Amino acid sequence: MQYQSPFENWYTYSTVHKPLPDFTCETGLVLFPPELVPGVGHPLVDKLGNHATRHLMMRKLESYNAFTEKLEYKAVMAASIKIAQDPQAFGLSEQAGREARLIVTDESHHAYVAIELIKRIPGFSELPPLAPSQPPFLRGLEELEKSLPTEFADDLLIAFVAISETLITSILRGIPRDPRVVNAVRNTVRDHCIDEARHHSYFVYVVHQHWASSAPDRREILASLYAKLIRLFLDPNIDLCRAWLLEAGLDPHDAEVVLRDYYSPERVAAGIRADSFPTLKLMERVGVLDHPTARPAFVEQKLID
Ligand SMILES: [Fe+2]
Ligand SMILES: [Fe+2]
């Protein structure tokens, strides 16, 4: 696939060159779309009163932004630096390698804005810090790395980042246009989306080239890895949600009821399929799904039937 730079107008349109978003938090508006926050709207949480709902929303926003920061620092920037330093290793053009440095800059800015946003949410400073824990995607990447021959460590990281950069999650899709959500959050997500549209086309190219330039042994590994990586990125962090529900005032039994209702297997599977739709189509286009080990892996991860 020919590299067509999505960064031609980078100095004009990238959000790192713009002022910080307007961080206004209007009273009466919500911090997050209620249907994306486990427990909000559930009768067991409603019984606890408004403060519980506000608490859950705050935790959701906090975790979304903390996740963004970790993903940018630990995965996307790390992968983009590898690409910048050795584009040929993944079948990428010299120009694509040079421009990976612009992605490093974009992502560093996204991490900065994500944390600034949390700090400026009224009432956030009164929240007790949650016990620090490693996000599941980092644990999952470590485990996958151990299961692979060492020479594929970089392929794992590039494949994971290519997946995460080509997915379009319901958060990115919906929030900028959601009039129920405070401007601080809508503006931040909108800015992030503008840059991510460019990264999306860049990583479509990366997936094409990574696959096309791979020898049969690397294809064998990538074919089943992609399916696992999509699940790893999109699987909900249920332990974290449980901690928020307990903190909001539910007893352990009621917290489990809420989690079971919100994260029913059908609902989780439908959400993952919707979010991964563009990536699944890409896997088809690139030819990954024609590989004999890919299809069973995608079926096993419940991404396709
Ligand atoms: Fe980003
Ligand atoms: Fe990105």
pLDDT at 185: 97
Apex 145 CA angle, 141 and 149, nearest 5: 160
Report the distance separating Cα 159 and Cα 65, nearest Å. 23
C-alpha 290 to ligand 1 mean position (Å): 30
pLDDT at residue 246, rounded to an integer: 97
Q: Using the 8-state DSSP alphabet, how is residue 31 labeled?
A: S
291 SS3 class: coil
List residues, by chain if needed, whose CB lies under 5 Å from ion ligand 2. 196, 199
Task: Tell me the CA–centroid distance for residue 106 and ligand 2, in Å.
Answer: 7
Give 172 Cα–ligand 2 centroid separation in angstroms.
12
What is the model's pLDDT at position 133? 77
- Ligand 1 geometric centre to CA of 213 (Å): 26
Distance CA 298, CA 226 (A): 8
Contact criterion met (CB below 8 Å) for 241 and 39: yes
Helices (H), the chain: 10-13, 43-46, 50-70, 77-85, 94-120, 136-147, 153-166, 170-174, 183-212, 216-234, 238-248, 252-262, 265-286, 294-300
How far is the centre of ligand 1, averaged over its atoms, from the C-alpha of 7 (Å)? 15
How far is CA 40 from each of CA 99, 138, 182, 189, 267, rounded to the nearest angstrom? 42, 28, 17, 21, 16
Which ligand sits nearest to residue 109's alpha carbon?
1
Q: For residue 200, how far is its CA from the centre of ligand 1 (angstroms)?
A: 10
**37 CA to middle of ligand 2, Å?**
23
Taking the model in full, what pTM does it have? 0.94
Q: What pLDDT was estimated at residue 54?
A: 94
Identify the segments of the chain with pLDDT beneath 50: none
In the reported structure, the alpha carbon of residue 248 is separated from the centroid of ligand 2 by a whole-number distance in angstroms of: 33
Hey, is 30 helix, strand or coil?
strand
| Ligand 1 geometric centre to CA of 215 (Å) | 30
Ligand nearest to the Cα of 65, by number: 1
Tokens standing for residue 175: 């929030």
* Beta-carbon count within 10 A of 291 CB: 19
Cα–Cα distance, 114 to 212 (Å, whole number):
35
Residue 181 φ then ψ, to 5°: -95, 140
Distance 123 CA to ligand 1 centre (A): 26
Ligand 2: centre distance to CA 105 (Å): 10
If you measure from the C-alpha of residue 229 to the centroid of ligand 2, how many angstroms do you get, rounded to a whole number? 16
